[in-house]
Structure 1
Amino acid sequence: MKGIWVINGQNWRAVTIIMIAAFFAAGWLYLERNSISVFTTDSGPQAFYRSETDEKKVALTFNVSWGEERLTPILDVLESEDVDEATFFLSASWAERYPELASSIHERGFTIGNHGYQYKSYDTWDQTKVSQDIQRGQQVLTELAETKPVLLRPPNGAFNQEVLGIAEKQGLSIIHWSVDSKDYQNPGTDQIIKNVLEQTTAGDVILFHASDTVKQTDKALPDIIKGLRDDGFTFSSIESLMTGAEPESSEVK
């Protein structure tokens, strides 16, 4: 006589619950693989600026808001130096003006972050205007890159607690920086290299620019990349740094 599986009502309910839980777990894992959570703590959303880690990983980030001459040389340097991970925060009004350049960042495999639509400091605007500017930036950049940004760097790096809350509601993490190359000052290639190599430690987020006002970044990058690698650093995505981050916060007014 062949065995017959018999499941009573109680067991059937248990099996059903397990199957439903497995379904949602699988869905969560799929979404988790394709997105990251807003960087938040028990006291609310925080801006991410570095990871407290012993691993010698750093993230290269570039702000872009003006011009068409400097971006491609920087992309070429990253490619020639075999740097696979970097994040470009794009002003969406710039991306509308130069869609081919914006698309080339995505095509080369780098991450695109939202740098707002208008290049105006958010801490001087009311919440409605900030929310609308972020949303417009999201729409433009999603259409150009065919992927929705999950990282936001407010124009001029200016934000307050209200901006943090708006970003959280839109599913965005605000990304600041812990090392400033000061390349926007055009202080000379040697000084930019020094600014980065002397400050960088494990887990840092490094700020560069790729707008036309910044004329020396592409020349400084090869020595910066080599110097960091010689010191044992590897280049990581911001998402990877955030995954292992221990949240630290300071008061944002």
Structure 2
Amino acid sequence: MQKDQLFTRRRMLLAGAAALGAAGTAGLIVAGSDEEGARIAAHAPAPAPAPAPAPGPQARQAPLKSSAFRLQPLTGGAPPHSAPRKLKVRTEPIFRIPEHGRQMMLTFDDGPNPDYTPHILDTLAKHDVRAMFFLCGECVEVNPHLVARMAEDGHVVGNHTWTHPLLTTLDRSEIKSEMERTSHIIEKFYGDLPQWFRAPYGAWNKATFQLGAEMGMEPMAWTIDTTDWDTPGTDVIIDRVESGAAPGVVILSHDAGGDRSQTVEAIQEWLPYLLDSGYHLTVPNRRV
């Protein structure tokens, strides 16, 4: 979404949402079967973050040799093409992923954008890493080739509504339209219905959880906000990722919604740092 009048509200709301996400109960996606993947440890305390390796030569030694260790899927089998899963309605989104093998997940919101998304995809491809992209329908409509590339490169895409509205200000039918239209256009160009949903600004309510479950989508939040939406400077973004790195962390970045040149520059620095530090960057399986 690239509407100038939303930028100020985006910054205020995201700052609040990040605080809420950090304080929320940690949700867990469990590796294994579909049934296991739908479980959530609703009252499990969030583990203390592991200290990030100190920058310097030692922190960047022993890079991973095989991409197989970087691409460990979160979930197993999936239902047939275009068949939404029957999901239990959650009462809060998922904030974290399993910590097995120092796993982390990278996510990007608001795209695709022709000025920034290709550069991020290029960096991910260079390091043979997959990520999750939460797409806005209106951006998919004008950049379908980028969605097709995400599919070809093995990235997982999620639903981020059509126009990036504050869903808590809409009625149920309006929320359904925003989510449903986006799922349909993602299926058209990605080749599959999205199985994940992220509410714009991290603003969730009962209707979003219910409708998402009806459409076969799990609600995904985040653990660490890079604050790149506020264009704080490339060094700040790098520091937030590297200092916040820990097993189970979900990183929030953006590839659209404003000037994302800092995000493009920052990922070229922090992505190899995470890999050289031994983190396994994972995504959920696509349907087959």
Task: Return the TM-score normalized by structure 1.
Answer: 0.75
Structure 2 counterpart of 1:34, which letter? A
Q: What secondary structure is seen at the aligned counterpart in 2 of 1:53?
A: coil
How many angstroms does 1:213 deviate by? 2.1
Q: What secondary structure is seen at the aligned counterpart in 2 of 1:50?
A: coil
Q: Determine which structure has the larger helix proportion and give its number.
A: 1
Q: What secondary structure is seen at the aligned counterpart in 2 of 1:51?
A: coil
How many angstroms does 1:228 deviate by? 1.4
Deviates more, 1:123-132 or 1:210-219: 210-219
Instruction: Tell me which residue corresponds to 1:63.
Output: 109
**Cα deviation per residue 1:161-189 (whole Å; 9 max; x = unaligned)?**
22112211221111110011111222222
How many angstroms does 1:238 deviate by? 4.2
Instruction: Tell me which residue corresponds to 2:120.
Output: 74
Q: What secondary structure is seen at the aligned counterpart in 2 of 1:202?
A: coil
CA RMSD across the alignment: 2.4
Q: What secondary structure is seen at the aligned counterpart in 2 of 1:135?
A: helix
Q: 2:226 aligns with which of 154, 177, 181?
A: 181
Indicate how the Cα distance of structure 1 residues 38 and 213 shifts in structure 2: closer, same or farther if over 3 A, else same: farther
1:150 maps onto 2:192 in alignment = no
How many angstroms does 1:203 deviate by? 0.7
Instruction: Tell me which residue corresponds to 1:33.
Output: 77
If you compute each CA radius of gyration, which structure gives the higher value, 1 or 2?
A: 1
Q: 2:99 aligns with which of 53, 59, 62?
A: 53
Q: Distance in 1 between matches of 2:235 and 2:177?
A: 41
Instruction: Tell me which residue corresponds to 2:133.
Output: 88
Q: What secondary structure is seen at the aligned counterpart in 2 of 1:112?
A: strand
Instruction: Tell me which residue corresponds to 2:259.
Output: 213
CA contact (8 A) 1:180 1:206 kept: yes
How many angstroms does 1:217 deviate by? 1.2
Structure 2 counterpart of 1:217, which letter? T
Structure 2 counterpart of 1:125, which letter? L
Aligned residues: 208
Could you tell me which runs of 5 or more consecutive residues in structure 1 were left unpaired when the two chains were aligned: 1-27, 241-253
Alignment of 1:234-249 (within 5 A): 234-238=280-284
How many angstroms does 1:38 deviate by? 7.2
1:170 maps onto 2:211 in alignment = no
Sequence identity of aligned pairs in percent?
26
Q: Distance in 2 between matches of 1:37 and 1:204?
A: 25
CA contact (8 A) 1:81 1:222 kept: no
Q: Distance in 1 between matches of 2:278 and 2:117?
A: 27
Instruction: Tell me which residue corresponds to 2:184.
Output: 139
CA contact (8 A) 1:38 1:45 kept: no
1:126 maps onto 2:171 in alignment = yes
Q: What secondary structure is seen at the aligned counterpart in 1 of 2:175?
A: helix
CA contact (8 A) 1:177 1:207 kept: yes
Q: Distance in 1 between matches of 2:186 and 2:199?
A: 15
Q: What secondary structure is seen at the aligned counterpart in 2 of 1:167?
A: helix
Alignment of 1:85-124 (within 5 A): 85-124=130-169
CA contact (8 A) 2:104 2:249 kept: yes
Q: Distance in 1 between matches of 2:86 and 2:264?
A: 32
CA contact (8 A) 2:196 2:220 kept: yes
